[in-house]
Structures are given as C-alpha cells and as structure tokens.
Structure 1
Amino acid sequence: MSFENQVVLITGASAGIGSACVEYFAKQGALLALVGRNEKKFGKIVRKIKGYGITNEPLVIIADVSVDSERIISETIEQYGRLNILINNAGFSIPGSIETLKMDDYDAMMATNVRAVVELTQQAIVHLVETKGNIVNVSSVAGITSNPNILAYSMSKAALDQFTKCAAMELAPKEVRVNAVVPSFIDTDFYAGHGLERGGDEYSALVEANINAHPLERIGYTKDCVNAIAFLAKDSSNFITAVLLPVDGGISSKGAF
C-alpha cells in the first residue's frame, strides 16, 4: 500500500471531502490524525473504518483550525513522532456580495480558509522537512472564476492558490512539495451553509444546473477529489510541486460560447 505507516494529518475530516479522505487513507494503511469540531461525526467515521477491519486507531483532534494550529501539530507529533502528509481541507462558505457581505463573515472565512492553512503549514514545516513530506491544499474553482454572491469565499480561495505556489517555491529546496486540488461542484453537505440541503428541491435544481454547465456533463463526487489528492501526495509524484490541479469536469476551461 502506497501510504502504509505514513502519518497523514487531515483537517475538516469529519465530513465531505475530508471524511472521504479518511476512508481512503485508512484503507491504504496510513496512520491518521483527524481534525474537526464535530465529535459525534468522528465517532461514526471511526466505527466505519473499523468495520473495514482496519486496526490502526486514528488520532482524533477536536479543534478549530483557525485558533488551534499549534496544538493540532503538537498532538500529532506527540502521538506519532513524525508527519508525512498534511491535507489542508477545512473550509467553508457564507454567501455575500460586495453589497451584502458582513465583515464578521469575511473575517471568519479568511481565518479558516487562509490563515489557518498558513499557520498549520508554518507549524508543520520542521516535521515535513525531516520526512521529505508534502502538503495538499483543497482549494476551489471559485478562486479562479468569478461568480456572484460568494465574494469572500472566492477571495479566500484565490489567496490559497497563491499561497500554495509561493510556499511550494520556498520549500522546494528543502524537498517539501506543496500542491492543491481545485474542485468545482462536489456532491456534499457543503452547500448547507447556503441554505441548500442535499435532497431538497433547490439543491436538486443546483445539481441539474451543474450537470448542464460541466463539459463532462456530470457533477463531481468526493472520490474524484480523493483520487486527485492521493495522486499529488504519493511518492511517485515527487517531481510535482506548485500545481493547482483542477478537479472540475473541465468547467474552469469552458469558454463563454
């Protein structure tokens, strides 16, 4: 197994892309440190991976990435003694345009979607240098396309993309790679923050619209993102850094006509 006994730290691990990463890396024999705020959800995830016969008990860290970066890294190192892969997945969106955006919402999104990634990376560097490890950030096509009513979220992901490339250049001499996946519409509970519950009529309409909008004529699923994250994290990708890998069915390259 390509990730056997590698220590993988995953933020936002209790739902969506994060929990799908947990299942994948657990099956690959990784030693997991899982970060999130929902202890109840983690209980379900741990029971699920144990059901696969996986004996490596993951380290669950109940924390807010925007304020607990030092503790997250220290508890991971205390448990495992090293860190091989950091997956910065935690993030969220609150709708708002330039006219309606509340600055408290702006600050919260920037704190989680950008500042937390910077701080966790800073805390992790010394350990990743020791293992020649790597970082995979989870961005969004919102950072490279322009859409109404998600101003701060789009700004945060554009900042994350630039951080990914700059950090990759700075850490390359230390043999630490930094890349990002750039998903479009992925079928998760992410859109609940916009009042769109999965299975509801509005969500179904959004799914249909995205099927029509994507050149591949389907929406994305968590497995699509996990496969891309795993590809970038593998040792076999050790000549790949500073890449923003679209996982978007071609939508970010789609022209206006």
Structure 2
Amino acid sequence: MAPPTRLAQLSDQLSQQPPSRTTMTTTPQTLKDKVAIISGSSSGIGAAIARELSARGASVVINYPFPSLKPQADSVIASLPSPAIAVEADMSTASGPGQLVSATMAKWGRLDIVVNSVAVAVNKPLEEQTLDDWDALVNLNGRGTFLLTQASLAHLTRGEGRIVNICSLSARAPPPNQTIYAGTKGMVDSFTRCWAKELPPKYGCTVNAVSPGPTRTEGFAAAGEEQMKILQPIIDQTPVGPRMAQPEEIAWAVGFLCEERSRWINGVHLVASGGLFVD
C-alpha cells in the first residue's frame, strides 16, 4: 500500500482532533453580558473563536453564508456554553454584512465585539488566477470586512467595543501562488492600521488584528497537494514546533484582545505563528 500523502494525513488528523479546551465550563466569565459577531464562524478558525468567546461568557452570533451550511452552524451552537444564534448572511454580497448586524441587534439590542473572520483563499500560479478569483476574494475578504465593520460602528457599546480583524501571515510573508489572497489580507492589515487611529476617538473602541500562520482547518486541508508541497517545508521551520496551529490557539489570541483589560491595546498586529514570522 502506498504511504498516505501529506494532504491525506492532514484530513485524517482533522477528523481526530480533540474537543477545543474552550468547551470547558471552568473558564472565567470575563465577557459575560457581551455580544459578539464572528463572521464566517460555522467552521474553522471562526468556529474556534466563537467557542472561545462563548466560554468567556459572551453571547455570540454564528454566521454562515448559504442554507446548506445551516447544519454546520447549528452544530457549532450546540457546542457553546453561552447563548448563541445562527444567522445566514453572505459576507461577499453588498447586503449580507448589514443583515448580520440587523439580526444581532434584533436579538440582543447591543453589540460589543466584531470579529472579521470570514475569508477564502485561492492557491494558483499568477498566470492561472482569473477575474472570477479576484472578484470572489476581494468581495469577501476585503469588502466584507469593510462593510461589516462599517455597519457595526453605530451599534458598538461606547468605551467597550472591540474590533478584531483576522488577517494572515500571507499579508506580510506570503508563499507562492497566493497573489490575490495575500493582496486581500494586505488590505485587511491596512484597514487595521487606519481604523486603529480613526475609530477609537469616535466610537470608544479598539481595533486590532490577529494573523494566523498555517492552521489546521478544513480550508487549509482543501489547499491541494501541490500547495502543500510548497507549504510543508515552511511549516517544518516553525521555531516553536514543526506543526500547524490548532484553531483554538488562534482563538485564544482573539479572546485576549476582546477582554476589558485589553482596553489599552490598539493597532496591534498580533502574529500567532509559533515564530514562523518575526516582524
């Protein structure tokens, strides 16, 4: 029998991951009474962030883009210890971000935390990337972040609001084949720098970014065998350990930035990559 490929090993390991530590009920309830929107949270890093914030006591809004993903979103909700709702809203459309905020306000009447987590990647040589790829990634990763943040501002609890953008190591240290994806994450990186100066005086919030390195998610597993051949040697050089991050390790960094005691942390680009990239 032929040995398993890297991609097959990754898929197998994904199916065997233990439950996130954030499902534990002993986590201090430091975000109790807070309401958090996490875009793109029916799977992957977004779902892990939802579990982390919920474990800290926040009521969370699970977001999914299409009806076919509702069972996935419901499964995430079933794993949460705090109140939650699932909202179907496509962040790649002009109306989806506003619908997500409206559903949140209709349910809880307040909004404290916005995590711009949703994103999609395309891994292709530059010559093969298309305008359809451009529209899909720019509309979701870039415009979706812009519109969700814009729609949220009037509702953020003044003096307590937290905006956390999920960027990517690809914004500052991209591998080959990620021209458009890296560009959109560079856009999110720049949004964070701009908003951290512009928004706190107006809305009493903080704006920060978390940049994951390679992370063991369903989306990463779908990168494809050729891209994994490029990425695996990079992953193997990670100083803390030759592995990918677990989603809950990224989620913890987000949770930290959402805490009340993080009120003086603003404009930070927190890289959670095990030291793979040091700025």
What is the TM-score when the length of structure 1 is the normalising length? 0.89
1:145-164 superposed matches below 5 A: 145-164=173-192
The question of whether the paired residues in 2 share the 8 Å contact of 1:5 and 1:29 is answered with yes
Secondary structure in 2 matching 1:194: coil
The question of whether the paired residues in 2 share the 8 Å contact of 1:10 and 1:34 is answered with yes
The question of whether the paired residues in 2 share the 8 Å contact of 1:76 and 1:83 is answered with yes
Alignment partner, residue 225 of structure 1: 250
Alignment partner, residue 32 of structure 1: 60
Secondary structure in 2 matching 1:179: strand
The correspondence for 1:239, drawn from 239, 251, 264, is 264
* CA distance in structure 2 between the partners assigned to 1:4 and 1:129 by the alignment: 14
The question of whether the paired residues in 1 share the 8 Å contact of 2:36 and 2:59 is answered with yes
Alignment partner, residue 170 of structure 2: 142
Question: What is the Cα deviation at residue 97 of structure 1?
Answer: 2.8
* CA distance in structure 1 between the partners assigned to 2:124 and 2:230 by the alignment: 18
The question of whether the paired residues in 2 share the 8 Å contact of 1:93 and 1:193 is answered with no
The question of whether the paired residues in 1 share the 8 Å contact of 2:112 and 2:157 is answered with no
Question: For 1:144-196, what per-residue CA distance to the aligned partner results, in whole angstroms no more than 9, with x for missing partners?
Answer: 01321110000000110000110111012132111000111111111244235
The question of whether the paired residues in 2 share the 8 Å contact of 1:185 and 1:210 is answered with no
Alignment partner, residue 13 of structure 1: 41
Alignment partner, residue 223 of structure 2: 194
Change (3 A) 1:208 1:156: closer
Within the alignment, does 1:180 sit opposite 2:204 as a pair?
no
Q: Which runs of 5+ in 1 are unaligned?
A: none
Secondary structure in 1 matching 2:188: helix
* CA distance in structure 1 between the partners assigned to 2:99 and 2:235 by the alignment: 41
Question: For 1:96-135, what per-residue CA distance to the aligned partner results, in whole angstroms no more than 9, with x for missing partners?
Answer: 2321111111111011111000001111011115363010
Change (3 A) 1:110 1:208: closer
* CA distance in structure 2 between the partners assigned to 1:192 and 1:176 by the alignment: 35
Within the alignment, does 1:66 sit opposite 2:92 as a pair?
yes
* CA distance in structure 2 between the partners assigned to 1:173 and 1:211 by the alignment: 40
1:112-123 superposed matches below 5 A: 112-123=140-151
* CA distance in structure 1 between the partners assigned to 2:147 and 2:232 by the alignment: 38
- How many equivalent pairs are there? 244
Secondary structure in 1 matching 2:127: coil
Within the alignment, does 1:214 sit opposite 2:238 as a pair?
yes
The question of whether the paired residues in 2 share the 8 Å contact of 1:96 and 1:152 is answered with no
Percent identity over the alignment is 28
Question: What is the Cα deviation at residue 253 of structure 1?
Answer: 2.3
Secondary structure in 1 matching 2:156: helix
* CA distance in structure 2 between the partners assigned to 1:57 and 1:30 by the alignment: 8
What is the TM-score when the length of structure 2 is the normalising length? 0.82
The question of whether the paired residues in 1 share the 8 Å contact of 2:30 and 2:56 is answered with yes
Q: Which runs of 5+ in 2 are unaligned?
A: 1-28
1:36-47 superposed matches below 5 A: 36-37=64-65, 38-47=69-78
* CA distance in structure 2 between the partners assigned to 1:206 and 1:152 by the alignment: 17
The question of whether the paired residues in 2 share the 8 Å contact of 1:84 and 1:131 is answered with no
